[in-house]
């Protein structure tokens, strides 16, 4: 039987074409030099066949490459929906997911409106790129109570999706009902944050993710036992082996996976963001919009979308006044609550807990620098209405209590921040500030907390 390889013309053509060369089709189109002159009908047909096959291969490869590199906006529910399917996660579903190359391609992502202004502050993704497979593995681990010593506590126990990825209790509750002495901080918008915990003792989100596993009053486990538990689960082992070749299940890779999932937990646009995005158009008149419509239809379409979104998510007049007060020198909230995520990611002594007989020293316990005594990390104002109680010790039950604390100038102590001074705020001013903070709430991604490896 005749084979294409039997014809020197076709052998030459086969050697010249290589699937990994992006310019293969161009090479095929160029004149062939030093090709034997005889051309049988069979060889011509084979040439046509090989060319068609090569063309189809390149088309599919190009389409797959474009698809894998398509930008995705963080908050897209497909990132956190879990492996496709219903009911218990099956081995076949998991294998199909892991064997799909597109799930292992680093994502080209963008941040939602509002947070997008902080794209230069994105943390951790260069050393730990976001992929769909890694996000999904982190999602499973985040909700898996088997990481704790008695199978009762998961990351989500203290960072509850239904409570703004914080907890409704003043202090976090761990194994055997144990409690600590700090409030559970929120787990969203961590993609814009480096140092973690209220005192900043974790240098990265990856470090933070594994800390509670071995904390006696939190998950009460050891890193060694957690690794052994995960490694003994075939579904987890397959995923780790595919995502971290030659490494598999390690405590560092557990941390990388959970951190990757947490970086997808971002707040969507809030009424505040829509209102801010419309400000550049505030002085436009009808003629300006008509000119924009004809000269720059893309910009006009963007404006139209923003206007509709702002109308559907309006800021009240009280919230607008609160916004102006928040960013004014008079209230000076933006001395610390600044930037895309409305936090400077810094550490400040605002007096909380400093009237205790033995106050917590916060950042000082890490740096040993006297200026850091009583200083705790600035939390984000985004979605703050969903995560009461407030402050590092959970001592303030409402946003009204928070505003009142600042209004009286905090709690006096030797290390109080210079920015904490008594404010001359009227009852209306205080109400306006609360209204503004509530207007900083946007949707969080829909996350599947089920379908874990059996």
Q: What is the CATH number of the domain that holds 413?
A: 1.10.760.10
Task: Decide which of 50, 68, 86 is a domain's last residue.
Answer: 68
- The burial of 152, by beta-carbon neighbours within 10 Å (0-12 exposed, 13-18 middle, 19 or more buried), is given as middle
pLDDT digits (tens, 9 = 90+) for 116-171: 999 999 999 999 999 999 999 999 999 999 999 999 999 999 999 999 999 999 99
Q: What is the rounded CA–CA span in Å between residue 288 and residue 240?
A: 56
Contact 436, 326 (CB under 8 A): yes
376-377 and 347-348 beta bridge pairing: antiparallel
213 inside domain: yes
Contact 153, 216 (CB under 8 A): no
Task: Decide which of 68, 90, 117 is a domain's last residue.
Answer: 68
Strand partners, 73: 110
446 inside domain: no
Q: What is the rounded CA–CA span in Å between residue 247 and residue 414?
A: 50
Q: Which residue has the tokens 């993609």?
A: 191
CA-based nearest residue to 419, from 321, 314, 346: 346
Whole-number pLDDT of residue 69: 54
Q: What is the rounded CA–CA span in Å between residue 448 and residue 144?
A: 12
Q: Domain of 13? A: 4-68
Query: Do residues 14 and 145 both lie within one domain?
Result: no
389-396 average pLDDT score: 98
Domain count, the chain: 4
Task: Decide which of 227, 242, 262 is a domain's last residue.
Answer: 262
Higher pLDDT, 303 or 43: 303
Query: Do residues 307 and 424 both lie within one domain?
Result: no
CA-based nearest residue to 310, from 283, 284, 271: 271
Q: Which residue has the tokens 């974790």?
A: 202
454 inside domain: no
Q: What is the rounded CA–CA span in Å between residue 323 and residue 338?
A: 12
211-236 average pLDDT score: 98
pLDDT band at 68 (very low <50, low <70, confident <90, very high): very low
Angstrom CA distances, 277 to 117, 180, 272, 307, stand at 11, 41, 9, 9
Query: Do residues 253 and 299 both lie within one domain?
Result: no
Contact 361, 345 (CB under 8 A): no
Q: Which residues of 371-399 are buried (b: 16+ CB within 10 A; e: fewer)?
A: ebbbbbbbbbbbbbbbbbbbbbbbebeeb
Whole-number pLDDT of residue 70: 73
Q: What is the rounded CA–CA span in Å between residue 223 and residue 358?
A: 32
447 inside domain: no
183 inside domain: yes
């Amino acid at each position: 039987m005749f084979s294409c390889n039997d014809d020197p013309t076709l052998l030459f053509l086969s050697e010249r074409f290589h699937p990994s060369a992006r310019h293969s089709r161009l090479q095929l189109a160029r004149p062939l030099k030093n090709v034997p002159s005889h051309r049988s009908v069979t060889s011509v047909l084979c040439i046509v066949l090989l060319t068609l096959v090569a063309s189809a291969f390149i088309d599919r490869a190009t389409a797959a490459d474009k698809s894998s590199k398509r930008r995705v906006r963080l908050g897209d529910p497909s990132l956190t929906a879990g492996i496709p399917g219903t009911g218990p996660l099956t081995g076949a579903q998991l294998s199909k997911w892991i064997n799909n190359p597109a799930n292992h391609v680093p994502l080209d992502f963008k941040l939602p409106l509002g947070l997008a202004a902080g794209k230069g502050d994105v943390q951790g993704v260069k050393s730990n790129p976001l992929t769909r497979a890694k996000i999904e593995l982190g999602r499973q681990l985040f909700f898996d109570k088997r990481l704790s010593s008695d199978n009762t506590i998961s990351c989500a126990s203290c960072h509850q999706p239904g409570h703004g990825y914080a907890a409704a209790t003043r202090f976090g509750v761990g194994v055997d009902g144990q409690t600590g002495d700090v409030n559970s901080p929120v787990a969203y918008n961590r993609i814009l944050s480096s140092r973690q915990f209220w005192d900043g003792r974790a240098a990265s989100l990856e470090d933070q993710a594994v800390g509670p596993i071995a904390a006696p009053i939190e998950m009460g486990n050891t890193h060694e036992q957690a690794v052994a538990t995960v490694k003994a689960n075939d579904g987890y082992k397959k995923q780790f082996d595919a995502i971290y070749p030659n490494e598999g299940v390690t405590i560092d890779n557990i941390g990388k996976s959970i951190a990757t999932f947490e970086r997808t937990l971002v707040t969507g646009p809030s009424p505040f963001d829509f209102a801010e995005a419309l400000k550049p158009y505030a002085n436009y008149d009808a003629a300006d919009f008509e000119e924009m419509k004809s000269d720059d239809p893309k910009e006009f379409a963007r404006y139209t979308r923003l206007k509709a979104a702002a109308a559907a998510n309006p800021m009240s007049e009280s919230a607008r006044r609160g916004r102006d007060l928040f960013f004014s020198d008079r209230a000076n909230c933006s001395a610390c609550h600044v930037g895309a995520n409305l936090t400077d990611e810094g550490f400040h002594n605002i007096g909380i807990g400093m009237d205790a007989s033995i106050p917590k020293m916060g950042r000082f316990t890490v740096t040993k620098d006297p200026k850091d005594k009583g200083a705790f990390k600035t939390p984000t104002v985004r979605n703050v209405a969903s995560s009461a109680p407030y402050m590092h010790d959970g001592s303030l039950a409402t946003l009204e209590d928070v505003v009142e604390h600042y209004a009286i100038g905090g709690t006096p102590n030797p290390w109080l921040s210079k920015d904490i001074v008594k404010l001359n705020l009227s009852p209306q001013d205080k109400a306006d500030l609360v209204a503004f903070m509530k207007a900083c709430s946007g949707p969080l991604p829909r996350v599947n907390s089920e379908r874990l490896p059996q």
